[in-house]
Amino acid sequence: MPPTLYYVHDPMCSWCWGFEPVRRELFEALAGRMAIRRLLGGLAPDSDAPMPADLQATLQATWRRIQQTIPGTRFNYDFWTECAPRRSTYPANRAVLAAREQGEEFDALMTARIQRAYYLEARNPSDNGTLIELAADLDLNEKQFAASLVAPDTRQRLLDEIARTRAMGMSSFPSLAVSDNGALRHIGLHYTDAAAMLREVLAA
């Protein structure tokens, strides 16, 4: 089988957001040269509990560190005052699965829409209502999406996908690995250097 590049992410992972520019550059460079498969890693299980203040402070510090590490990364800090944060990313992951049902291209499109809503528009993708609004923005079948978002089958498919990523040893996000002839080779991350990752991906 031809080699496949696996990309494991979570749509509400802030480092994945910072990684987006080089991720796009890498994928564009690999177009037509290697199969690429996106997998959801599931950062934080479902929770209705308000996010503790100390965790909110930690995540805001993470955003600032990302901006220092990856110049040009934008965050809208109004999220922390205008929304009711919860440590719950599984709904956003299921939204990507529900979108994927309506076409493979909607996997990346829904991920990008969630990221923009969360990081730039100060909207909360932990809320199903927000996710349904984002699906409408993408002209998805809203009724089908809303049903799939809460379907037991979608919940199980997410758990199965998460289990697969863990079995591959990809438990942090973002993660990259190349599968070739049954062997899995993990790729080092470079948040500002797509060329370095491209060389490693294509190395024999």
The pLDDT of residue 117: 99
AA letter at 155: R
Q: What is the pLDDT of residue 204?
A: 59
- Tell how far CA 131 is from the center of its chain: 14
Closest CA to 144 of 201, 189, 193, 103: 103
HSE, CB side, 13 Å, CA atoms: give it for residue 171.
Answer: 4
80 within 8 A of 63, measured Cβ to Cβ: no
- Give the domain CATH number at 67: 3.40.30.10
Structure tokens at 122: 């100060």
How many folded domains does the chain comprise?
A: 1
Domain housing 109:
4-202
**Residue-level pLDDT at 85:** 98
**Residue 153: how many CA atoms within 13 Å on its side-chain side?**
6
Taking the chain (204 residues) in runs of 10, the rounded mean pLDDT of each run is 94 99 98 96 98 98 99 99 98 99 98 99 99 99 99 99 98 97 96 98 86
Question: Is residue 5 within 8 Å of 182, Cβ to Cβ?
Answer: no
Residues 146-159 pLDDT 10s: 999 999 999 999 99
